[in-house]
Amino acid sequence: MNVNTIINNLEAKHPGEKEYLQAVHEVLESIETIYNENPQYEAAKIIERLVEPDRILTFRVSWTDDEGQVHVNLGYRVHFNNAIGPYKGGLRLHPSVNLSILKFLGFEQTFKNALTTLPMGGAKGGSDFNPKGKSDAEIMRFCQAFMLELWRVIGPNTDVPAGDIGTGGREIGYLYGMYKKLQMENTGVLTGKGLNWGGSLIRPEATGFGATYFAKEMLAVNNDTFKGKTVTVSGFGNVAWGVALKVTELGGKVVTISGPDGYIYDEKGLDAEKIDYLLELRASNNDIVSPYADEFPEAKFIPGKKPWEVKCDIAMPSAIQNELNGEDAKKLIANGVQYAAEVSNMGCTPEAIEEFQKAGIPFAPGKAVNAGGVAVSGLEMSQNAMKLNWTTEEVDAKLHHIMSSIHEACIKYGTQSDGYINYVNGANIAGFIKVADAMLDQGII
């Protein structure tokens, strides 16, 4: 395999799909050596088959707002790879959604799901619909219209979607309601469901908690802990709040959260009361960042900036792809950052990753750090299939165990001869081997 040739060919076939090409490039660079050492992969054209999704469904979503105006959005579901289990991956509702973004997310999801040790393939979907500022009734009508198309290609043994940006418990409820009506079946076809209709305990917190457990393992390599550490976090969505809560519980101090319009710096750090306040604001569909600064006088709102200029020990980007670039990484390094754990999918640009690695700072990629979300989704699927519910302690212990195994896999495949743990290589190689070997076993399909 020659990485540049493959990327050039893909670029010619899929011009302008920059996020997708970026994600493929990163994985290919990590696996190049192992791929070329194992000619059976090349003989079965594993890479050429792995970089193209199995299929893509694109559809129109028509819905009516509260004033009776008709709107038309685009909906997508990308079935990327089901070598190790049913397709599985979230639904993103955000105006930036396009095929490049969903293909990058589906590709990443394939390896992430393999890392969890659970039987799940990779998928992603969503729409360019913007849930911000919409009423509950509008969200419901959109979700129902979206499901009118999506239901044809999902099912508990086929494809099990979940949440992502813009899709939380409320949206999953409306989507599930419509699926159930169309299919006349009460199966666990979505994860992130409400607790009294098939959901799992810990699922809402799982991505953030899992990310913090993974970061805890990164610290433990150096006999270090979160106690007394200053942590910068971006965003304040499904994922970031769980990070803030667990880091705080473990004795760390989260001093930032952010939105697209700027960030909050709270020198005293978030605590349970502040997190509850923010969650209430979020539930009411309101902007949260500037009201927080009005409510708590110790917090400052810094408009138009990102939190990476703040001095911290650990950086945990938790908002959106490419939110931390090379210049941001340089600032963090100059300010003494010791660890970077990417919680968002592809939250750091290749230049940022290079800066961290050059400086010898442990950097772990989203597909390893944020795998706790899909892992607990996998546990939700198991509970649905067995028709029983595990306790909080049981789910949390399994999540903890899965995050430790992912960390061990990264160490196994990513430790360099100089002792530096290259988590990017470790996660990519471990995920790749599992998926590629399953594809080999199943023949050319």
CB of 398 to ligand NDP, least distance (A): 16
List the structure tokens of 1. 């395999």
Selecting among 124, 216, 229, 398, the annotated active-site residue is 124
List the structure tokens of 374. 């899909």
| DSSP calls for 168-195 | -HHHHHHHHHHHHHHHT-----SSS--G
- Segment near ligand NDP (CB under 6 A); pick from 39-47, 139-147, 313-321, 385-393: 313-321
Report long-range pairs for 277-285 (Cβ below 8 Å, ≥24 apart): 278/236, 278/241, 279/241, 282/236, 282/237, 282/241, 285/131, 285/132, 285/133, 285/134
Q: Burial letters for 415-430: b for 16+ Cβ neighbours within 10 Å, e otherwise? A: beeeeebbbbbbbbbb
- Segment near ligand NDP (CB under 6 A); pick from 6-14, 19-27, 75-83, 238-246: 238-246
Q: Measure the N-to-C terminal CA separation of the chain; round to a whole number of Å.
A: 21
Helices (H), 335-370: 350-358, 366-369
Name the closest residue to ligand NDP (Cβ).
237
Interaction between residue 236 and ligand NDP (CB under 6 A): yes
- Residue among 233, 259, 234, 371 at smallest CA distance from 314: 233
- Residue among 426, 310, 412, 413 at smallest CA distance from 363: 426
Q: Tell me, residue by residue from 73 to 112, as one string, x for binding to ligand NDP by CB under 6 A and - for no binding.
A: -----------------x----------------------
Interaction between residue 200 and ligand NDP (CB under 6 A): no
Q: Return the number of the residue (85 or 372) whose C-beta is nearest ligand NDP.
A: 372
Q: Read off φ and ψ for residue 162, nearest 5 degrees.
A: -150, -165
Binding ligand NDP by CB under 6 A: which of 17, 164, 328, 380?
Answer: 164
Contacts to ligand NDP from residues 253-292, by CB under 6 A: 258-260
Rounded to whole angstroms, the Cα distance separating 9 from 79 reads 21
Interaction between residue 161 and ligand NDP (CB under 6 A): no
Q: Is 124 a catalytic residue?
A: yes
Interaction between residue 199 and ligand NDP (CB under 6 A): no
Q: Return the number of the residue (161 or 439) whose C-beta is nearest ligand NDP.
A: 161
Q: Return the number of the residue (145 or 376) whose C-beta is nearest ligand NDP.
A: 376
- Segment near ligand NDP (CB under 6 A); pick from 230-238, 295-303, 329-337, 350-358: 230-238
Binding ligand NDP by CB under 6 A: which of 165, 218, 233, 379?
Answer: 165
List the structure tokens of 21. 């090409």
Q: Burial letters for 91-127: b for 16+ Cβ neighbours within 10 Å, e otherwise? A: bbbbeebbbbbbbbbbbbbbbbbbbbbbbbbbbbbbb
Q: Return the number of the residue (41 or 192) whose C-beta is nearest ligand NDP.
A: 192
Is residue 2 exposed (0-12), middle (13-18) or buried (19+ Cβ within 10 Å)?
exposed
Interaction between residue 207 and ligand NDP (CB under 6 A): yes
Judging by DSSP bridges, how do beta strands 70-81 and 87-93 pair with one another?
unpaired
Interaction between residue 212 and ligand NDP (CB under 6 A): no
Interaction between residue 320 and ligand NDP (CB under 6 A): yes
- Residue among 98, 72, 90 at smallest CA distance from 175: 90
Contacts to ligand NDP from residues 22-61, by CB under 6 A: none
Contacts to ligand NDP from residues 112-141, by CB under 6 A: none
- Segment near ligand NDP (CB under 6 A); pick from 54-62, 72-80, 183-191, 236-244: 236-244
Number of residues that bind ligand NDP (CB under 6 A): 24
- Segment near ligand NDP (CB under 6 A); pick from 2-10, 176-184, 233-241, 400-408: 233-241
Could you list the active site residues? 124
Q: Could you list the residues that contact ligand NDP (CB under 6 A)?
A: 90, 163-166, 207, 234-240, 258-260, 318-320, 323, 344-345, 370, 373
